[in-house]
Amino acid sequence: MPKRTRDRHLAKLAARRAEERRRKQRKRSTTLGIITAVAVAVLGLVVLSLVTGNQKPKHRASPTPSASPGAQTGTVTPQPAPAKVACGAKAPPEAGKPKPQFAGPPSMTIDAKKTYTATLVTSCGKIVIQLDATNAPTTVNSFVFLADQRYFDGQYFHRIANTIDLIQGGDPTGTGTGTPGYNIRDELKGKEKYGPGVVAMAKAQAPNTGGSQFFVVTGSQGHNLDASPVYAIFGRVIRGLEVAKRIQALPVNGETPKLAVYIDHVTIRVSK
C-alpha cells in the first residue's frame, strides 16, 4: 500500500476510535446523571421523613377525642339474681337490665355545706342514709351522680357477710367485681370505726380502688374491721336499720344470698 494511502487509512481509523470514545463518555455521563438524580430524590424523601416524623396528611380526619369524665361509655349486663325474691317481694322492672358504665368520676356538683339523704327502696323495705358530704365529698358526689343516673335501680345485694355483720351491694354485675367504669380516691381519716349503721365503700386491697360497691354494717361484728380502717365511711343509716338486719338474717351459701334482695330504686334528697 502506498504511504499516502496508508496515512489516510490510519487517520480515518483514529477518527473512528476518537468518536467511539466520545460516544462512551456521553453514555457514562448520562447514566451518572440519572443515578445522581435518583440519589437526590431519595435523600429528599429521607430528609422530609425526618422533619415531618409520623404526621398524618392534613386532609385525614383527626382521632376522636376521648369521652369526658362522667360520660357514659357503654353498659354491662348483670348475672342473674336468685330466682326467688326475699320478703315476699317481686323483681322490679329494672332487674336484669344492662347497667351503664362511665368514662371517669363525675365533676364535683354537690355542695358540701348541704345535707344529702339517700333512700334505698329494697325488696325488704326502705333504708334511709344520711350521706357525709363534709368528710367524704368525692364519694358522696359519685354516689349521688350514680343514683341520679338510675345506676342502682334493679341491682341486688350480692353479699351477706355474717362474720362481720354487713350487707353489700352496688355491683352492676352481681359478681363482686363490678365497677361503674371508674375508681375514686379513698377518703380516710385513719380512725374509722365500723359500728352498726355505718355505710362505707367496698374496695379491692389496693388503695383508691373504690367505685360503686358499698356496704351497710348491721351489727357489732362490724367492729372486726376497725383494725384495718381502709374503707371510706360516707354515710350512716338514720332509718331502716331493722330492714338491713332483716336482709342480714336471710339464708346464704357462704356469703352469697340464696334469695334476691333488690334495690328497686334510690332517691336523693337535698336540704340546707
Q: Once rounded to an integer, what is the mean pLDDT over residues 237-263?
A: 98
Query: What does the pLDDT look like over 141-189, one tens digit per residue?
Result: 999 999 999 999 999 999 999 999 999 999 999 999 999 999 999 999 9
Query: What does the pLDDT look like over 3-34, one tens digit per residue?
Result: 455 555 555 555 666 666 666 665 554 444 44
Cβ atoms within 10 Å of 235's Cβ, excluding its own? 24
* Ranges 1-5, 47-51, 196-200: which has the least confidence: 47-51
Mean of pLDDT over the chain: 85
What are the grid coordinates assigned to 63, written together? 382521632
pLDDT the model gives residue 267 = 98
What are the grid coordinates assigned to 171, written together? 355491683
Q: What's the whole-model pTM score?
A: 0.76
Q: Could you tell me the CA-to-CA distances from 158 to 13, 174, 183, 199 in Å, in that order?
A: 108, 6, 20, 16
| d(C-alpha 19, C-alpha 73), whole Å | 80
pLDDT the model gives residue 172 = 98
Query: What does the pLDDT look like over 92-138, one tens digit per residue?
Result: 999 999 999 999 999 999 998 999 999 999 999 999 999 999 999 99
| d(C-alpha 197, C-alpha 248), whole Å | 13
Residues in the chain: 272
Q: Could you tell me the CA-to-CA distances from 117 to 133, 140, 235, 237, 270 in Å, in that order?
A: 10, 10, 9, 10, 6
pLDDT the model gives residue 70 = 86
Among left, alpha and beta (phi > 0; psi -120 to 50; other), residue 53 is left
Q: Once rounded to an integer, what is the mean pLDDT over residues 25-51?
A: 41
